Structure 1
Amino acid sequence: MIDFIAPVAAWCAALIETIGIGVITLFALYVLYDAIARILKKEESESIFQELRQSLGRGILLGLEFLIASDIIYTVAVELTFETVGVLAIVVLIRTFLSLTLEVEMSGKWPWQGQP
């Protein structure tokens, strides 16, 4: 049974990682396309820029969540050693820090602060 779990988990981790990369890429392409279309319509550039940053930030946050999930699956199910758990902890901390800073950048407040 154990011999069956590792390859399936590795495949699932790779699939989820691909989804995360795809989400970030598709959001980036969509946001860029939308910004160019709005610039050609002569909309206000400041609002275009702010909405572009917020939409791109949301896409990156969503993609990061998939990438973290894939790292967790791979580490726990495929290659569980003290070294890989340590590397996973560092990667999760870095990605969590990125997520928090992106959230603060997009909303102007910490995630745990309530709505005004």
Structure 2
Amino acid sequence: MPDFRLHIEYIARIIEAAGVLIIAVGAAIAMIKFVFALQQNKQRSYKLLRQDLGKAILLGLEILVAADIIATVVTEPTMERVLTLGLIVLIRTFLSLSLQVELEGKFPWQEEKYKS
């Protein structure tokens, strides 16, 4: 059983690393796109930069939440650890929700507003 927990912990750490990597690479790509557009005298707005950054952060946060959920399998069920993990997941979920509202202008459960 200890081997099983160790393997799950490694998997959770790999998923966490992937989440961080996605945020870092996404931020770098967004900045590169913004800088190249400026160098070519193309109009690339700050708003598009924020959207690209927000999408990278949002995807990374979703993956980090998944890693936290997987990590709960191998933790000792003490109240302190459960509360800590719950708080981390709550904060990351709140950040994801606020980023999604900022990027799309609506909550995920709201219907799309059609333009006539």
- Structure-1-length-normalised TM-score: 0.90
Offset at 1:28? 0.4
Aligned AA (1:31)? A
Q: CA RMSD in A?
A: 1.2
For residues 101 and 78 of structure 1, the distance between their equivalents in structure 2, rounded to whole angstroms, comes to 29
5+ unaligned residues in a row in structure 2: which ranges?
Answer: none
Aligned residues: 113
Higher normalized helix content (fraction of residues): 1
| Per-residue Cα deviation, 1:26-65 (whole angstroms, up to 9, x for no partner) | 0000000000000111122xx4211111111111011011
Matched, 1:26 2:43: no
The Cα of 1:77 is off from its aligned counterpart by 2.1
Partner in structure 2 of residue 5 of structure 1: 4
Q: Percent identity?
A: 41
User: Following superposition, which runs of at least 4 residues in structure 1 exceed 6 angstroms of deviation?
Assistant: none
Using the size of structure 2 for normalisation, the TM-score is 0.90
Residues 1-80 of structure 1 aligned to structure 2 (within 5 Å): 2-44=1-43, 47-80=44-77
Q: Secondary structure in 1 aligned to 2:72? A: helix
Q: Which runs of 5+ in 1 are unaligned?
A: none
- Taking the aligned partners of 1:32 and 1:80, their CA distance within structure 2 comes to 42
Counterpart-to-counterpart distance in 2, 1:64 and 1:6: 24
